[in-house]
Amino acid sequence: MRVIAGKAKGMPLRTLPGLETRPTTDRIKETLFNICQPYLADCRFLDLFAGSGAIGIEALSRGAALGVFVEQNREAAAIIRENLRFTKLEDQARLLTTDVLSGLRSLEGEEPFDFIFMDPPYGKGLEGQAFAFLSHSGLIKEDTWVILEAALREPLEEIQKYGFSVKKIKKYKTNQHVFFVHASEDSI
């Protein structure tokens, strides 16, 4: 796995060995960032369930002003820290080693994010908890993109009941990226 574009282009990234995390492949990451690229300059990017930090690091490499990473696994958090240091992006980043809901609570009151990316473990309902929190949070604004990496057959109805609407779905062989905005916004 590597950084695909930007100031850290081509730099390899470490991942946690084993099956505890599912690193997003370079091809899928490239497709995701082709969609987001026009809006990344100077944005605030939140990477939830961050794993190796590859998605947030890619955003920073491509021009995001700030990347906040939330990862509760201490070994994965250590790898994020190492990847940020190796890519020389640590000055633009913050790492919260905690569960996602605690991380979101600790960020409340700060400026809203332009992008929130989440890749939770499949089948545990954690994305619903995150969307429930975000539905009444000051961490999003009307044009914040909330991007969920999910299994192909993941039901999305629960998320929509929290006031988010699906604006775009990009399907791959085994998973998908679902782009949401708060229901009052139609900007994608």
| pLDDT attached to residue 160 | 84
Does the pLDDT at position 87 exceed 60?
Answer: yes
Higher confidence at residue 55 or residue 153?
55
| pLDDT attached to residue 20 | 56
Does the pLDDT at position 32 exceed 80?
Answer: yes
Q: Tell me the average pLDDT across 63-89.
A: 96
Instruction: Enumerate residues 6+ apart whose C-beta is below 8 A from 113.
Output: 43, 44, 45, 46, 68, 139, 140, 144
Higher confidence at residue 152 or residue 43?
43
Say yes or no: domain 27-137 is CATH 3.40.50.150.
Answer: yes
Of the listed ranges 3-12, 18-27, 77-86, the least confidently predicted one is: 18-27
| Reported confidence tier of residue 18, pLDDT bands at 50, 70, 90 | low
Q: What is the DSSP letter of 37?
A: G
| Reported confidence tier of residue 21, pLDDT bands at 50, 70, 90 | low
Looking up tokens 């100031």, which residue turns up? 7
Angle formed at CA 49 by CA 150 and CA 56, multiple of 5 degrees: 95
| pLDDT attached to residue 22 | 64
| pLDDT attached to residue 103 | 98
Rounded to the nearest integer, the mean pLDDT of the chain is 90
Look up the pTM and report it: 0.92
**Cβ atoms 139, 115 nearer than 8 A:** no
Looking up tokens 């961490």, which residue turns up? 139
Please state, in angstroms and as integers, the Cα–Cα distance from residue 26 to each residue in 10, 29, 30, 50, following that order: 11, 5, 6, 16
| pLDDT attached to residue 63 | 96
| Reported confidence tier of residue 186, pLDDT bands at 50, 70, 90 | very low
| pLDDT attached to residue 156 | 80
What confidence tens digit (pLDDT) does each residue in 120-163 have? 988 888 999 999 999 999 999 989 999 999 988 877 888 888 99
